[in-house]
Structure 1
Amino acid sequence: MATSAITAPTYDPTSTAKALADKYIEGAQTQLTTQTNTANATAKALTTLSSAISAYQTSLASLAGIGKSMLAQSATLSDTTLGTATASSTATPGTYSVFVKQVATPSQIAYNLGDFDLSAEKQPDGTYQPGVLKLNLADPADLAATPVTINVDLAAADADKNGTLTARELAVAINQSADNGGKVTAGIVTIGTGASATSRLVLSSTKTGAANTISLDTTGVLDANLQAALNAAPTVMSTAQDAIVNFGDPTDPTTEVKQASNTFTNIDGVSFTATKAQAPGATPITLTVGGNATGTTANVQAFVDAYNKLKSALDGLLSAGDPKNNVAAGAFAHDAGVTALRNRVVDLLRPSGVLSLASYGITAAHDGTLSLDSARLQKQLAVNPTGLDTLIGTASTSAPTGIAGSLNTYLNMWSNATTGQIQERTDANSSLQSRLTERQTDLDDKYNAAYQRYLKQYTALQALQSTMQNNSSMFSALFNSNSSN
């Protein structure tokens, strides 16, 4: 009678060891992964919170910082062909007489130059030493002034070292001089065509004013032909001069202001830029400074938008989520501290007193976001123009006032780089992340040890099973043989 061979279950030691090692650390790994994901989400959320608060405080400083006002001012000219004007919020309303005697202009001169053979300056070592050209910037009428000097190495100007200096090479050398720094620009204008074409080196000062008059000092130029060409009288394309404006009676010298720039800031909070001179005896223009309703509305709208952006960020971080629609909760959904932050920010918009944001058209919707009624804003400003600045106040660390001051002071408790809540939370979370990383390393070591142990055991078991299988086959063959006899 034949005997059936014993059939043992077969398995792979590698996959079995992995499955058992996974099971061995499964609970600890699940817990550690959850903690790590939470810590990483917290780090990301703290960065989001920090950015949102920082952006809001920057906006507060821009709109309601020291010397700032929510009330915008405008400056208008009776003749806009003579200049432009702007007014800051600190400008005092009023009218001013302005007479433009002269506008500031830059210096621009041109030289007709060809190519210059520098062979006479060739040295025994094969190099050329044509000397140094100096460009000076100074007011020719001020003999006591020390000129600004730009040194141009003519040897370096011969970039291809072929012993010929072209006008274009000289222009490049002037622009690249270490002394230049953008004070003078050099360019080439070609006049004519073909064989009759000539190159004109055009030198222009980048700043206006008599002190920026360009002149050449050729005493250091060793090539006689080049020196002669540069000593020739240049074509003056623009004479450098200062701007002269009278803020008052143009016949009264005490009202005259002379300066190198065309932009004048002599009227507090006002910037006036002259663009065209008036004819002698012409009537002065009028510069009027007054309230800018459009600008004020834009400032208040910016205040509203900045707050809504901060609140939106806080709402997202505190969101309870929607499990039914697979919407995850915010990282701080159960954080009492961040909840208190949002609530306090909302409360600070409701200062005690007669004035309120609502009286100036700034109201809150059911979700807490602000909106602006510009018509109501302008109506209240007509009744109480200074009340808005009093209400909003100043976002100053040293002397905070009003809503902006209270908000900025409170938010500093969170945003301070050394003692703020965000920094403290970030430090604590970073320490937690470091500990979790260490725990993950330890758990990985335990996993590897368990895997190697199980792999060794089941590899040995597989070998034993294989031996038993072979023995079983041998006995089966032996019994079958005896039966047949």
Structure 2
Amino acid sequence: MASIDPSTLATNLATAYTQSARALLTAQTKSAQATSTALSKLQSALKAFDSAMDGLSNKKGLQQRSAAFSDTALGTAEANAAAIPGSYPIFVERVATSHQVAFENLPPEDISAWPAGPLNMTVKLANGGNFVVNLANADSDGNKTLSQVELARAINQASGNGGKVSAQIVTVGGQSQLMLGSGVSGEGGKVSLDVTGLPAGALRDKLGAAPKELVAAQDAVVWLGEQNTGTRIQQGSNQLTAIPGVTVTLKKAQANGSAAAVLSVAKDDGATSANIKTFIDAYNTLEKTLDELTAVGKDGTAPAAFASDAGVRSLRNRLGGILRQEFGGLTLRDLGINADRSGQLSLDSKKLEKTLAAKPDALDTVFGSTATAAPSGLMGAFAAQLDKWTSSTKGQIQQRQTSVQTQQKALNARQTRLDTQYDTMYQRYLKQFTALQQVQSRMSETGNLFNALGT
């Protein structure tokens, strides 16, 4: 009689008992994991496309302009799609400066006799942006002496300051000075002190006296055209926005009597094409990902996670529908952007040039912006559709991931119960076959005994 192996028999029978349930559970677990992975991949693809559109929106238009001074030392310039190409004569008579003053030889002030209560000094700006510095608690180390460092700290930390004036201690020729620098450029940022709220003493006298002016508060003066004959502009900032669509940052003044510099604004076809390519590449990447996630499978290849998912197919159809929409009477096809049979976009540059020649604002009309406050055009429509899927609070992907996680928890619980069931059956069968093995052993011993008696 062949010997019995209780462990092997128990394993085989327990496995057979749970095999069908385990196979179903394994398939469901694999499917849930595949769905979760596919959702994460879809989320990444949609967000990458959305991020690309946000980047284009931040450029204030796909159609780009370039702007530059004939003398680059005078300043820099940036132009957006609203700028009109051309040459603009500009004379920079002076640039704006921020006021800086220094109070020299400020003595440490013995404040032991100062009265209790608010001890206010008012820092004043010419534009009315005043703020109060309370020196009652400025003695941070409690030694009853107000130092220059403590005075500077009190000014910087005053609640109404907010960057209007910065105070620092500098050492020149071995002597410390309190330097105040205005955070407001131009004449409106001129700094002065009102010390009438401080007790009489050496500190009040020094702060109340006229400081040493290091840099005068000066407005920028610019002429659109030649000096003294063009349009004069005086302002506190070195950023000039008088030319529509162009922002000029002034750096250096010209010598009186010299000729105006030329600010050239031109189409930047290279940057414009790069913007369009960014959109096309981003969309094509998204389309390729959707292809992979919805592949039906053939020639023995398993279907993708969303091969039969009506929601994802609806998303894809809606995105394709947006590509065909009209915006301002124009479509992507009018701009030379076409989709092939697989959904991939490509650009016909000649058609784009022809459309832009007839309608210079066509690109921005069609593409619009993803700006939350005022979404518009193609990118605004895409952003609205993507938000329905990618929103962290109410998006389809978030809801689906939550559902999958719930399903996975349930599958894990079923797996635990199945493992327990397997262990129970294994122990039962092991006990039974161990007992059978023992019976078999005794029968073998009895048979051997009879055989011995017969010889």
TM-score (norm 2): 0.74
Query: Conserved in 2, the CA contact under 8 Å of 1:318 and 1:331?
Result: yes
Aligned positions, number: 438
Q: Quickly say closer, same or farther: Cα 1:385–1:148, change in 2 above 3 A.
A: same
Select which of 12, 27, 36 maps to 1:34: 27
Residue 403 of structure 2 aligns to a residue in which SS?
helix
Encode CA deviations 1:246-294: one digit per residue, 9 max, x unaligned: 33465469x3333221112122111122222334444333323222233
Query: Conserved in 1, the CA contact under 8 Å of 2:221 and 2:233?
Result: yes
Between the aligned partners of 1:222 and 1:323, the Cα distance in structure 2 is 94
Q: Which amino acid aligns with 1:296?
A: T
Query: Conserved in 2, the CA contact under 8 Å of 1:175 and 1:185?
Result: yes
Map of 1:77 onto structure 2: 69
Encode CA deviations 1:25-54: one digit per residue, 9 max, x unaligned: 443343234323323332342343244334
Residue 311 of structure 1 aligns to a residue in which SS?
helix
Pairing of 1:390-429 with structure 2 (within 5 A): 390=362, 393-396=365-368, 405=377, 409=381, 412-413=384-385, 415-416=387-388, 423-424=395-396, 427-428=399-400
Between the aligned partners of 2:143 and 2:4, the Cα distance in structure 1 is 90
Query: Conserved in 1, the CA contact under 8 Å of 2:87 and 2:265?
Result: yes
Map of 2:420 onto structure 1: 448
Query: Is 2:110 the counterpart of 1:118?
Result: yes
Q: Which sections of structure 1, spanning at least 5 residues, go unmatched?
A: 1-6, 124-128, 140-144, 399-403
Query: Conserved in 1, the CA contact under 8 Å of 2:107 and 2:202?
Result: no
Query: Is 2:278 the counterpart of 1:291?
Result: no
Query: Conserved in 2, the CA contact under 8 Å of 1:17 and 1:451?
Result: no
Q: Deviation at 1:204?
A: 0.9
Q: Quickly say closer, same or farther: Cα 1:33–1:389, change in 2 above 3 A.
A: farther
Between the aligned partners of 2:57 and 2:342, the Cα distance in structure 1 is 25
Query: Conserved in 1, the CA contact under 8 Å of 2:42 and 2:290?
Result: yes
Q: Which amino acid aligns with 1:155?
A: N
Query: Conserved in 1, the CA contact under 8 Å of 2:43 and 2:390?
Result: no
Residue 107 of structure 1 aligns to a residue in which SS?
strand
Query: Conserved in 1, the CA contact under 8 Å of 2:322 and 2:381?
Result: no
Q: Quickly say closer, same or farther: Cα 1:184–1:407, change in 2 above 3 A.
A: closer
Residue 277 of structure 1 aligns to a residue in which SS?
coil
Q: Which amino acid aligns with 2:210?
A: A
Pairing of 1:367-386 with structure 2 (within 5 A): 381=353, 385-386=357-358
Pairing of 1:249-328 with structure 2 (within 5 A): 250-251=227-228, 255-318=231-294
Map of 1:237 onto structure 2: 214
Between the aligned partners of 2:70 and 2:369, the Cα distance in structure 1 is 41
Map of 1:153 onto structure 2: 135
Query: Conserved in 2, the CA contact under 8 Å of 1:56 and 1:307?
Result: yes
Q: Deviation at 1:209?
A: 2.1
Between the aligned partners of 1:460 and 1:28, the Cα distance in structure 2 is 24
Encode CA deviations 1:51-78: one digit per residue, 9 max, x unaligned: 433443454465479x954432222323
Deviates more, 1:294-303 or 1:427-436: 427-436
Residue 181 of structure 1 aligns to a residue in which SS?
coil
Query: Conserved in 1, the CA contact under 8 Å of 2:182 and 2:191?
Result: yes
Q: Deviation at 1:215?
A: 1.5
Between the aligned partners of 1:84 and 1:148, the Cα distance in structure 2 is 33
Q: Which amino acid aligns with 1:215?
A: S
TM-score (norm 1): 0.70
Query: Is 2:125 the counterpart of 1:138?
Result: yes
Select which of 86, 97, 109 maps to 1:105: 97
Q: Quickly say closer, same or farther: Cα 1:23–1:245, change in 2 above 3 A.
A: farther
Query: Conserved in 1, the CA contact under 8 Å of 2:63 and 2:364?
Result: no
Map of 1:4 onto structure 2: none
Q: Quickly say closer, same or farther: Cα 1:455–1:291, change in 2 above 3 A.
A: same
Between the aligned partners of 2:171 and 2:57, the Cα distance in structure 1 is 55
Q: Quickly say closer, same or farther: Cα 1:310–1:227, change in 2 above 3 A.
A: same
Q: Deviation at 1:386?
A: 4.0
Between the aligned partners of 2:37 and 2:228, the Cα distance in structure 1 is 67
Residue 219 of structure 1 aligns to a residue in which SS?
coil
Between the aligned partners of 1:210 and 1:391, the Cα distance in structure 2 is 42
Q: Quickly say closer, same or farther: Cα 1:46–1:465, change in 2 above 3 A.
A: closer
Query: Conserved in 2, the CA contact under 8 Å of 1:131 and 1:223?
Result: no
Between the aligned partners of 2:359 and 2:176, the Cα distance in structure 1 is 66
Between the aligned partners of 2:368 and 2:340, the Cα distance in structure 1 is 28
Deviates more, 1:431-440 or 1:383-392: 383-392
Q: Quickly say closer, same or farther: Cα 1:380–1:429, change in 2 above 3 A.
A: closer
Q: Which amino acid aligns with 1:239?
A: A
Between the aligned partners of 1:64 and 1:201, the Cα distance in structure 2 is 46
Encode CA deviations 1:293-340: one digit per residue, 9 max, x unaligned: 33223223323332333234334434678999xx99753356576567
Between the aligned partners of 1:21 and 1:280, the Cα distance in structure 2 is 101
State the superposition RMSD in angstroms.
4.8
Encode CA deviations 1:66-114: one digit per residue, 9 max, x unaligned: x954432222323333222221111122333323333211111112245
Encode CA deviations 1:392-433: one digit per residue, 9 max, x unaligned: 8524599xxxxx9568647755642599xx944653563354
Q: Quickly say closer, same or farther: Cα 1:80–1:21, change in 2 above 3 A.
A: same
Residue 86 of structure 1 aligns to a residue in which SS?
strand
Map of 1:88 onto structure 2: 80
Query: Conserved in 1, the CA contact under 8 Å of 2:13 and 2:426?
Result: yes
Q: Which amino acid aligns with 2:161?
A: N
Q: Which amino acid aligns with 2:21?
A: A
Q: Deviation at 1:243?
A: 2.0
